Structure 1
């Protein structure tokens, strides 16, 4: 008996819990004492351990932000923001503040070097892969459930393998390290080492494992086929919209003919880029659009929409650039803005269809076009209701 006890002691180490057999009578509490806590006993309420913190790290030669983010399980953007960095380049001796998060042991475990990445505005798989020095298939293998190679939802979470590359799987119920190694045809030691597992019994359902040397080629092939289909549909949509625009242009792009209100279009060929009180125009320039914009090449002839007298022909101080205004009588006026050249003078009488100038981009204009307005009693109206269509 003494010999067995000696052997047991040799196996003990600090922190080992022992079950010491005692008399059953000793296990019964004193009921009176158990009902009343000692009067002088101080009750201490322990605060929960913090789940986050900051590591102060001094940069060593050869270290990079991506390397440090993977080592500490942090994020490149968070390190830069907390450390006040403007660039990604690091210098030996530089001190960084690295935010870390202490994960709850009840949370699914990630393999060493695998970190979560939140998709931001303008992110693409190509851009993310280049940032971390990876191939597209490396990211796909870590995210085999990706729905598209081109469409990444803003705020979506991606797993980025910054250390070992391979297929990232989720451990299911009843699975163990041995069965997983056998299923994927990898060595048990390699699987354990890649995932930093020293105790196979610690593996739990929901944990993530990297299967080294295995790539999600089937998922990649599926996504490439999906990409081809998405691009085919996008091209069909582009052609359909182009055909619709062309049909619409054919309906309105002519000089002959007048509307029931006696107006004709001021250009013979054009593309409508902004309508009256256009919402997109307002969001872009923060001003109400008071006419209709007809895009056309620089120098395209501009014609009077209706007969009348030219009341203004020159430079505008309020953004129209070179412009012409025609009075058609009865308080009705038309205005033609952003001209490159003017072909009439103030006081001149013009017929409907007379040449009055040429398309330009003078004044407040981002490209060559004609800004056309209709006014009644000095107030702008929607030109669309005056023109033939």
Structure 2
């Protein structure tokens, strides 16, 4: 049978009587009652899109619920509303900051998707993943400063449909001006970008110029890669030479180099080479010689015979130093000594004692700073010493 005052029907059997209202107005009270929410349910209106909302707390609401409803920050609500704790009272007014509604995203041509760079990605790997040439990616990402060093999280435009040059629409530009600039048929341009109405474009939108590749940008990329490979090879050779020098613990082997020089110390550890990059990064100055760490007081010997032209205190950071003229414009300089064993004008032979290792002047530890000069200009000492 039917319950006239309710909205649900029991099972019906043949011969049952139904009471059907003559007017729909008779069941409005029942509909309102059925749709009315239970007393313990809080009904929340849609949040505005921006600004600060003055919200009156209703029974059953919590700070967490209100923050979630407005997508706001709980801490900011407490700060703006002057709340010391999270407990709310019905009727209390809160100031709720909400985010400004985001503007429409710039339009992308159909077939162009945004790819987020992941760990291990490279230009070649991404191009292969989408069946593209590298120049296709370059042409779609002219705004990026460098495509050769992709940082994780970088956004790339990937043309999965028609290939071409992807540009950004500027102020005052439209489909006609872009077609004229790139000398392309406007109908073809509209088709490539899925535009039924040329007026749909706005500044900031992306437009694909079909059939055009950024060959100049690709050439610059290749040139940059070539230069980076050259610099990397130079750096590899330099580091290999420095590594070999640092592994050399016993310097003096009783012989001389092809240029007639011997090592000035018998035992040492090289801590900085000529024009050492690490030294420059640390002290912001070019390293003009070879630093050889050794215990304080280690004897220093003349790398080659000659006349002592300077022996004393330096005013430019060498500390106690000795300079020897070997003739033909060739000189050696020995710096940061703890003691000097020769005097100016003295003739010394190769291997003669000239002083002792120290840390005087601009020095962070006991070591010998050796310089080789040709007509006053410093040279790499490793080019003159025995291998």
TM range (shorter): 0.3 to 0.5
Bigger-Rg structure (1/2): 2
Report the TM-score when normalising by structure 1: 0.41
Report the TM-score when normalising by structure 2: 0.42
